[in-house]
Structures are given as structure tokens and as C-alpha cells.
Amino acid sequence: MRQMKRLLDVYVALQALFALSWCFTDADPGPAVGSQSNGERFKIEGRAIVPGVKTQDWVSTARILVEGEEYVGFVKTDGSFAVNDVPSGSYVVEIVSPSFRFDPVRVDITSKGKMRARLVNYIKTSEVLRQPYPLQIRSSGPHTYFMKRETWGWTDFLMNPMVMMMVLPLLIIVLLPKVVNTNDPEMRKEMEQSMNMLNPNPELPDVSEFMTKLFSKGSSKAGGGNKGSRSVALKRR
Amino acid sequence: MAWLVVRLAISMSLLYTASAVFEDQVGKFDWRQQFIGKVRFALFDTHSQASKKLLLATDKNVFASLNSRTGDLFWRHVDKTGPEGHIDALLMYGQDAVVVVGNGRLLRSWETTVGGLKWETVLDTGSFQAAALVGVQDFVKYVAVLKKSAISLHDLSSGSEIWVENLPDSDSVQYQTIYSGGNGLVLVLGVVPNSHIVIVEYKIEDGEIMNKKSVEAAWMSSLESSCAVVSSGILLCVDQITQSLYTLPLQSAEQTEMRQIHLQTLDLEVVSGFRPVLTSTQPNPAQPPLSEFFLQLSPDHHILLQFKDGLIAPLRDFNPAYLAAFATSGERTVAAVMSPKNDTACSINLFSADTGRRHLDTTIIYHMDPNGGKPNRLYVHAFLKKDDSVGYRVMVQTEDLALTFLQQPGRVVWMREEALADVVTMEMVDLPFTGTQAELEGEFGKKADGLLPMVLKRLSSQFILLQAWLAHLWKLFYDARKPRSSVKNEVTIDVLSRDEFNLQKMMLMVTASGKLFGIDSKSGTILWKQYLENIQPNSVFKLIVQRTTAHFPHPPQCTLLIKNKDTGLGSLYVFNPIFGKKSQISVPALPRPILQTLLLPVIDQDYAKVLLLIDDQYKVTAFPSTKNVLQQLQDTASSIFFYLVDSSQGKLSGFRLRKDLSTELIWEVVIPTEVQKIVAVKGKRANEHVHSQGRVMGDRSVLYKYLNPNLLAVITESTDTHQERSFVGIILIDGVTGRIVHEAVQRKARGPVHFVHSENWVVYVYWNSKFRRNEFSVLELFEGAELYNSTVFSSLDRPHPPQVLQQSYIFPAPINTLEATLTEKGITSRHLLVGLPSGNILSLPKLFLDPRRPEMVSEQSREENLIPYAPEMPIREEWFINYNQTVSRVRGIYTAPSGLESTCLVVAYGLDIYQSRVFPSKQFDVLKDDYDYILISSVLFGLFFATMISKRLAEVKLLNRAWR
């Protein structure tokens, strides 16, 4: 709680500058007082737009909620809406629809009935980023309620870096003996030498020896390679 | 940079805690039912013959369109609750429905095919009296709205105001009805009670007063209930004191007095004490009403009368008849009358309105539900058949808010239980075992009687299981052969039994109208219903499960405490939750107001838990109160404590039970009511399990939780509502000793406060009036690094006060209700279920509400999996457990554990009911839905064959080498 307050203090200090630049009469705590002092009621107007969808397909399920369910409005068949009988104050106006997502907007109404709309910012509550008024609320697409299932496809599997790292050396192992004649004793000696040079510590188990042994044996590792990749698949599950 | 780290950490943690719905799970284990409430107005769309629309406006401020063939909703508009959204009138013409809302504040026109708003007009203030469609020359163009002191006329196509006129002498005259016969005039009728009637004629074009007259009527007190306009502008009134009808031609200049016709001359008589009711019909607003009308003389006596040439002639007498209604199709108007047939059924017949003759073959038999209420409204949909005769369907509304739609000869087309739109409280009860299951379970309970009989018994029970399984397989095979449509999964009480993971339960729902429902949680089918008559509308209910299904052969037992809010007097209703039958057990009489109930873990010899009821003299009544129970109570009395809350005096008090079932005051805490008032008090849920006693910290030490089962969370709100001085307080108090464990105040905050109290934490939400946003605050209590007494918790012996940690967060949405998930053993991580006004239910991981979330990320906090602190709580659409199945006006969320530790059953209720399952830590104890059997088996087979082949190859190779 304490740290949040500290954060907020910083924000308050910051937005004092903002407040100066906007010569709007609505001070932060003002509107709620205004609503009590006079009983005048105002109307929040606007239009909801869902690009590419006919209005009749979504208007029957949409509602306009002002500050929770404190004031409720409905969408007309052309997408416009009006919420009547709202006293002065600051409200979050939200269009709720089970199928489309709309971003909420904060609407400030002064006691004289002057209106402005701004982006909702719950952290810097009095930061003003103006939005058009009457409201123009454009849907940002359908809701994404569902998580994607992790599907298993051969391409996903093959493009996996681990698999790539395993398959490439395997190919080299299988193909290299075909390119280089390993039965040639001179060649073998040369290779052994180069391998030994690469290996700085002779105490370690000799990889080259193992490899050359493997090369000389010819090819029965198709199964082995297969095995390796499958066990990876097992791990992935 | 730090921000980025926080973001990253959050998104990382989301990967582990997300409990979202996958698209293929839609409808698999969840269902939603939508309701509208008690119907106040219902209109059938008679605009075209093929129309299936039925428009309904209800007392829940809902305006809906129903498919009259299936009973499903086409669309539904849920307005604000309370008087501001109250629907005063519903009128329909063609495709448009005009609705007057909020005591005549708003006039709305709806496009009924799409369900969109056509226009909306704000009317002047003034209490609403009546509204009517006004036609000119056979064409309806206007709608007139009558307020207490003004009348206004609006254009039907655009809603624009044509004119508004003040009514003359509106201080003394009560204007109550409008009449328009399509002749260019609007007539407003008013009454000065027990003096005279005032009739004012307005010209449609400009609202000019054409004529104004007053007629003596000393006997009349109200126009609305006793008068109707029939024929070409004849006002007809009935008075039960003088036992006569009065007629008055509204537009004739000569007659200045109402003509009295004694009911005796028609051989009729009003039953004493009954207010007679006149019902007329005006099929077309642009034409005068019909000259036929119904007169109701007693609750079950209707008579169809005709007004002709100044005379009244009876057409047909319906005695007995409960309900009567007119309906029009094309040019023909019919009357449907419901009369009792026998004790359990009613018959509805159709009569032609102009002659009173019965139409042949039009009887509909309506069977009354023995557990339901009596029919009280009849809505008739008449239509012309191909042979030009009139056919009809009826919708019957009963006292228990059930809507039944019937067609000839009595087939129920659909039925809606609108009582479920107002669920007050609910419980979930395990289903009983089947015979075979019980047999198997019984084996473990019995004493061992030798090795061989045990083995035999085991074999026989296994054999029974095998048999059941084979039968099941056979049924599956048999069903698979049949076409899909003919296989109906009918759920009845008889076939219900507990499934292997106890995921299917019986939902008991108590509704405000006093109707109880037993609903199958898997399918949402209503298995039984019981209407309790004579329930006061302002009753409060408390449902208590006294005996679960675990004590076969004793039937499960639930007790419903019904308490009148005003008098505090209560009564008990004991029933079997599985079958809904009323139990024969005698219940104690409760002559005094009940203050508190207490369900003890003490059980009687029949395994029913003991319920204690404390009355306003602090006397305790036990139920059941057998000798055994009383003996047990005497033994344990010194350790039975309870608390009482008196919010009007701001007093919290704790009591202890004495051996003679009286009580003694132990402690008392007074919260001065001048400053703050107690809003809510909550203990912990009795069926909650806490698995881990502490939390392992980053440095491998353990922080032990303060798990006090007697802890109460008390929420207070300041009486001063000024936003600078208002506050919300929370007091944690020990219910046994009255010791205040912790106290916290949130300044510049106000309610409504929603809170959850569980384990060692309390989460509460309040409105921050300074920054105008909702904030979550979490309190967690810890004992510290050592437990004082690790074996048993005693409130009386806890010398060290707990360490309290608190943190607050911004919640970027309004909140309707809050609840926490609950699982069998409490191992699964907890989620908070937040009901939002948008209708979504958010499953918020408790991980985000952890007061130990650090400001700075350290090695230790990372090891503990703590998310770095961020002021704003994230809301992600994937966390909405009910995807697009929104629950309107969600009022409560009920959570129940299932047999699977990973799974928690959730029921959200409000206007709608939504049932689902949540998996806060994913499904760790069962195979996932998307478990890839094919992949696993193909890999296994692949490996198997690969080893076979390579073995063979190796053999060949060895052989070759040997030959070399």
C-alpha cells in the first residue's frame, strides 16, 4: 500500500504540469461535488463502430455501461448511442459486447454541462489525452477468449533448433564417408592427425577414434538417427 | 528498463498460472441459462402470420424477444436495476415496440427484428400514468404519454415530440387514462376521488383543448382499476358497493350524468370483498374498442358481456373460470377462458368474442404442476388457419413465475422457470451412489468375517461391476446404431449417480419467490422443483446441508431457514436435496425472532449435523433435539462459541453456550455508529482445507501462516460520505475471545466493498474516491518463522500477535461480486473469481494478490516465484472463464470442490445462471483433453519396430563379419 502511494505521489507531481497545459475547469475532486450540488442531468453521446461488421449483427447484444452499471444505455440500429440522465462528474464509459472488444473512455462532465472525453488511465488519473467527443469508439476486433492449443506438426518439430542441431551433424556423419574415401590409409592418417590437433587434451576419450570407427562400419545408423529424433519427441510431450 | 523487467516477469508468470478455456472445450462442461424475470407485459407479434416473436417486459427491467416456438431468446436488453430502469408500459405496432421506462422518464422504440434501438426520447419529469398509441384514419402515427400533470404526443417513427400540454387543474384531478378512438382526438380521463370525473379532449394536430367536461361520480375512487372504454367511446365503470355498472358516452354533449345499471337486473352479483375487474379490448388503436367485454365478479367467475344501444347484455357466463383474455387475429377477435377441469388440470377454450359461441375442437388441457403455483396470467396468441378458422396458442404464467406455452390439444411447447432469475442462495450436494457402487463401498465398512468369505465377496462385487460395464458397453453399441436425433440423453433422478470424479452434483437453488430447484450440474436440467407457498416477499433464506449423501441408508437432509425480514420470525423447511421431497421430521417451532444460526460438527445418531438457532433472548434451540444430541451438547457446551452482529448499534458480541442451552456473554466490541457502520462480517468457509502450513521462502526458511479458524473479518464504512472524509475499515477479530487481531483503514474510499476471507488472507475491493477507481487490497497473516503450537490451534492460547502484510493494487474495471476457488485438499493454487458488470467472470490468480510481491527483484524473490509489484492488476480476456456466455447482473458466485483436486466447480448466478469448472493449476491429475494418444502410440510402435529391425540388421552384420 505504502509503495503504491509513493508511486501515486510521483504521478500527481508529474501531472500537475499536464493540468497547467489544459485550461479545463474540471479539477480532480471537483465533479463529484458538483453532482450533489445541482440536480441537472446530462447526456453522453457517441457512436460505436465495428469495422467490417453490419450493425444489426451486434447491436442487440451490446450495452453502454457508465461507471459499472450505474447508468445504462443501448445502441441504436445505426451504431450511435446516448446515455441519458447522467449528472456531472467523471465517468468511465464502456461498450460491452460479448463478441467485440471496445476500449473504455473517460468522460468528464462539468457542472455546466461541458463535456470532454479522454483516455482511461487508472494510474495517472488526471492525465488528459483527449478523445473526440461525441465519442467515436472503434472496436479493436473480436475478443480473444480462447487459448491456442499447442498443436503438434511435423514442420514445428523439424524446425525446432534442437532437432536441427541433431539432424545436421547426423547428415554430415552419414554423408561424409561417402564423399571422402575412408578406406584410403593415407587419408585416414591425415584425418587422425587433424583430429588430434583439434583435441588439446589427449587424456580425454578420443572422439576421433570413435568417429573413424563408426565411419568404417558403414551405415546402420539410419535407425539410430531415427531413434534420437523420436526420443526428442518424447521429451517434448 | 525496470518496467520492462516487470512486464517480462508478469508475462512469464502468466505462462504458469493461466487457466484459460480452449476453444474445443466450449459447452463441454459448462452451460448457461438465460432468464428474464417475472413477466409484466407480453405481446405476440401479430403483424405477420409466420412471426415467431413474443415480446416481454419484466419486473427485472428486462425487455426481451422470445421465439414462441422454442422459448429461446432472440435478444434481450437488460436495463439498469431499480426504479430508473423500470418498464412502465409496452406498446407494439408493426415492427416497432414502444417502451416507457423509468416512471415515464424515457420513451424508447425498438426495432423488434434486429433488437436494436430505433429512437429514444427523454420526457419531462412527472410520474407516469398511462401511454397509448394514437391513430388517425386507420393509421397509427403517434404515441401519447400521460403524466401526472402533462400529456405529450410523439411521432411513432422518429420519437420527436409533436406537442406537450399541461393538464388543467392537475393539483386536484388525478388523470389516469388516455383513450383515442381514431377520430382525431385524444381523450384524457381524470378523477377527483369520491366527487367527479374529468374528461379533456385534445386535438391531435396541435394539442388544443377541444372540450372539457366533468361528470358526477361520487362513488368513484380510482379510474384505473374499475373502468374500461368499450364500443365507440363509452366509459364503463363498475362499483362493488352499489353493485352496479355505470356507462357514459365520452363525447356526447347531452348526457352529463353516468347512467346506472344495477347488476341485479343482469342477474349478477359481486362477491363481497372482491374488487370487480372490467377487461375490454381495442384490437386496432386507430379504431374504437369492441363492444364486448369481460367482467370478473369473483376470483373464479367471469362473464362476457356486450354493450349495445345503451344496453348491456350477457353473452356467456363462465363460472367457474380462473382467467380470461382476448386475442385478435386479422379481423376476428376471440376470447380464451381457462376453467378448472379437475384437481390437477384446467381446460382452456376459445369463444368468439362477438357472439360468445364456443369454437369447436379448441380445447387445450393445462396440467397444473402439483409442486407449483396456481396460474395467474393468460396470454393468448390467435392466428388464422388455412381454412380460415381461428387457431390459438396460450402462454400461462403461474404464481411461481413459470411460463408455459401450450398448443392444442395440450402439448407443452416450452416452459421457462423465471423464478431462477432471482436466485438468493444455493448449495451443491454430492449425488448418491448407485446400488452397485454402494455395494462396493459397503464392503469396506463391514467387519472382516474370515478370509474366504471376504475373497468371495470381493469376487462377487467385481463380477457385478463387470456386468454393469458390459451392460454399459452394450448400451453404447446399441445407441450408436440408432440415428443421432432419436438418442435422447434424458436425465432423471433415477439414473443420477455419482461419477468417478464427483464432478456431477446436485445444485440446490433457492429463489426469492420461494421456489426451490434441484438442478443437475452437468446438464442444467431441472430435476425437481418445489414451490413454497405463503412466502413473504421480503424473506431471507439460509440453506443448510445437515446430512450429506455419505450416510447411506439415511437420506441426505437439507434445512431451509426462512426468515421474515421485518419481524425476524423464522420457520424451517426440511427436505431431501436429491428428490426434493419434504421430510417428515418434526421441526421445532420458532416463536421468537432468530438472530443467528450455527451448524455444529456434532452429529446425532442418524448422522445429521446439529443446527443451533439463537433467538433474540439469546436462548438456543437445537435441531434435531434428540436426547443423544442434548447429551453431546452438554458435554461440549463449554467449547461452543458464537457471535452476534447488531449493525444498527454497531455492536459485535461473543457468547458461549451453557449446559442448559442458555448463553453467557463473553466479549463485546462496540464500533461507534456515529463514525462508521458495520457493512459485512465474514468468517471462513467450513469446508475449506489448507494444505500447507507455511510458505518456503527464498532462503529456505519457512514463514508459517496464521490459520485461525475463528477469525472474523468485519468491514465497516464511514457514515460520512463526503469523498474527502469517507473511509473503509477492516477489522480482524477473533470470534472466540473477541481479541482484535488487526485493524486497517483505507482513507478516501467508499463501498460497495466486496471481500473474500480464506486461509490466512483477506482480499477486499473498495472504490477509491480520490482517484475514482477500484482498488484491491490484500491482507495476509503469518505467525512468523516458528509455530507457537503446531498440533492444535486455540484462540485462547495465542500469546503472539500475527505478522500482517498488506498490499494494494488498482483494478481497472468495476466489480459486481468476488469469490475464491475451492478444491478438495487445498493443494491447488487459489484463484479469485471476479464477476464483472460486463457479465464476464474473471479468474484472477491469487499470485497477483500477494503482499510479498517485491518492489525490486532479488534472487530470493525470483526463487519464490514472486511477481514484482506493479500497481495495476492485469485483466486478460483469456482469463474470462465464461468466454462469450456472459452472465447478466451477476450477483453471486458459488464454488464447490470436486473429487479431483485440480478441479473446482463454479456456479455464477444473477439474471442468468452459468455453471462451469475451473482448473487453477491446470489439470495436473488427469490426462488433458488434448492428450495425443495417436502420437504417443505411434512413437511407441515406431520405437518397437525400429529396435526389431535394427536387431535383425545387427544379426545379419554379425553373421557377415563372422564369415569375413
Query: pLDDT tens digits, residue range B40-57?
Result: 999 988 777 778 889 999
Residues in contact with B313: Cβ distance below 8 Å, sequence separation at least 6, in sequence order: B305, B306
pLDDT at residue B217, as a whole number: 83
pLDDT at residue B239, as a whole number: 86
Please state whether the predicted TM-score (pTM) of the whole model is above 0.80.
yes
What is the Cα–Cα distance from B260 to B248, expressed in whole angstroms?
Answer: 9
How close is the nearest chain A Cα to the Cα of B958, in Å? Answer: 12
pLDDT surpassing 70 at residue B403: yes
How close is the nearest chain A Cα to the Cα of B286, in Å? Answer: 28
CA angle, corner B704, sides to B701 and B708, nearest 5?
180
pLDDT digits (tens, 9 = 90+) for A81-108: 999 889 998 999 999 999 999 999 999 9
pLDDT at residue A38, as a whole number: 53
pLDDT digits (tens, 9 = 90+) for B110-154: 988 888 899 999 988 888 988 888 888 778 888 999 998 889 999
Place of cell 471462513: B684
Least confident of A25-34, B343-352, B534-543, B786-795: A25-34
Here the cell at position B650 is 454497531
Here the cell at position A46 is 457517441
> Are B22 and A77 inside 8 Å of each other by CB?
no
pLDDT surpassing 60 at residue B22: yes
Q: Is B72 touching A (CB cutoff 8 A)?
A: no
CB pairs under 8 A between A and B: 164
What is the Cα–Cα distance from B464 to B440, expressed in whole angstroms?
Answer: 9
Optimal mutation site among A74, A78, A143, A229, interface B, most CBs of chain B within 10 A: A74
Residue burial B445-459, b: 16+ Cβ < 10 Å; e: rest: eeeeeeeeeeeeeee
Q: Is B808 touching A (CB cutoff 8 A)?
A: yes
Residue of A nearest to B958 (CA): A217
In the DSSP assignment, the letter for residue B84 is G
Residues in A closer than 8 angstroms to B102, CB to CB, are 85
What is the Cα–Cα distance from B326 to B836, expressed in whole angstroms?
Answer: 43
pLDDT at residue B516, as a whole number: 93
Q: Is B121 touching A (CB cutoff 8 A)?
A: no
Comparing B33 with B549, the larger pLDDT belongs to B33
> Are B814 and A120 inside 8 Å of each other by CB?
no
How close is the nearest chain B Cα to the Cα of A172, in Å? Answer: 21
How close is the nearest chain A Cα to the Cα of B809, in Å? Answer: 8
Mean pLDDT, chain A, whole residue set: 72
Residues in B closer than 8 angstroms to A90, CB to CB, are 772
Q: Which of B24, B77, B814 sits opposite A74 (nearest CB)?
A: B77
What is the Cα–Cα distance from B107 to B99, expressed in whole angstroms?
Answer: 6
Q: Is B807 touching A (CB cutoff 8 A)?
A: yes
How close is the nearest chain A Cα to the Cα of B115, in Å? Answer: 5
Residues in B closer than 8 angstroms to A101, CB to CB, are 877
Q: Which of B777, B886, B942 sits opposite A98 (nearest CB)?
A: B886
For residue B624, whether the previous peptide bond is cis, meaning omega lies within 30 degrees of 0, is yes
Contact of B687 with B897, CB cutoff 8 Å: yes
What is the Cα–Cα distance from B909 to B890, expressed in whole angstroms?
Answer: 6
Q: Is B2 touching A (CB cutoff 8 A)?
A: no
What is the ipTM metric for this complex? 0.84
Optimal mutation site among A145, A216, A227, interface B, most CBs of chain B within 10 A: A145
- Taking only residues 820 to 849 of chain B, the set having a beta carbon closer than 8 angstroms to any beta carbon of chain A reads 837-839
Q: Which of B20, B116, B772 sits opposite A59 (nearest CB)?
A: B116
pLDDT at residue B755, as a whole number: 93
For residue B320, whether the previous peptide bond is cis, meaning omega lies within 30 degrees of 0, is yes
User: Phi and psi at residue B623, in whole multiples of 5°?
Assistant: -140, 120
> Are B117 and A1 inside 8 Å of each other by CB?
no
pLDDT surpassing 60 at residue B442: yes
What is the Cα–Cα distance from B820 to B823, expressed in whole angstroms?
Answer: 10
Contact of B776 with B809, CB cutoff 8 Å: yes
What is the Cα–Cα distance from B22 to B881, expressed in whole angstroms?
Answer: 10
Q: Which of A1, A96, A226 sits opposite B777 (nearest CB)?
A: A1
pLDDT at residue A10, as a whole number: 39
How close is the nearest chain B Cα to the Cα of A125, in Å? Answer: 6
pLDDT band (50, 70, 90) for residue B558 = very high
- Taking only residues 842 to 901 of chain B, the set having a beta carbon closer than 8 angstroms to any beta carbon of chain A reads 855, 869, 871-872, 877-878, 880, 883-886, 889
> Are A8 and B24 inside 8 Å of each other by CB?
no
User: Quick count: other Cβ atoms within 10 Å of Cβ B311?
Assistant: 9
Here the cell at position B154 is 410523439
Contact of B498 with B505, CB cutoff 8 Å: no
> Are B85 and A72 inside 8 Å of each other by CB?
yes
Indicate the residue type of B353: A
Is B283 exposed, middle or buried (CB count within 10 Å of its CB: 0-12, 13-18, 19+)?
Answer: middle
Residues in A closer than 8 angstroms to B886, CB to CB, are 96, 98
pLDDT surpassing 60 at residue B5: no
> Are A76 and B118 inside 8 Å of each other by CB?
yes
Residues in A closer than 8 angstroms to B953, CB to CB, are 220, 223
Domain boundary assignment for chain A: 42-142, 151-199
Which helix (H) or strand (E) covers residue B440, if one does?
Answer: helix B435-445
Residues in contact with B852: Cβ distance below 8 Å, sequence separation at least 6, in sequence order: B780, B805, B861, B864, B866
pLDDT band (50, 70, 90) for residue B6 = very low
What is the Cα–Cα distance from A85 to A83, expressed in whole angstroms?
Answer: 7
Nearest residue to B597 (alpha-carbon basis) of B649, B555, B541:
B541
Class of domain A42-142: mainly beta
What is the Cα–Cα distance from B559 to A172, expressed in whole angstroms?
Answer: 77
